[in-house]
Amino acid sequence: MESIEIEKNMLKLPCKIANKLRGKRIEITEIKEGILLRTSSNPITEARGFLKGTRFTTSRYMQMKKKEKEHE
């Protein structure tokens, strides 16, 4: 399975679709009906920043761990 990163003017797709895919990695698969373009997910990249805005910091995490150890 091949994967590439879509760059400007790399594929001739409708603007709406090209804008959605720009900068993402996609898998290109040949199927019976034709060619399938599917975004390939990287769980690490997708998880990045998911705590943003939750006021969860490393110092707060360390405080929570310290309290857990005290209760043991």
pLDDT tens digits for 42-62?
778 777 777 788 888 888 889
**Which pTM does this prediction carry?**
0.41
Low-confidence ranges of the chain (pLDDT < 50): none
Where in the sequence is the domain holding 28, given as residue range(s)?
Answer: 2-71
When divided into structural domains, the chain yields a total of 1
pLDDT value at residue 3: 63
Q: What is each CA distance from 60 to 16, 48, 50, 55, 64, in whole angstroms?
A: 42, 18, 16, 9, 6
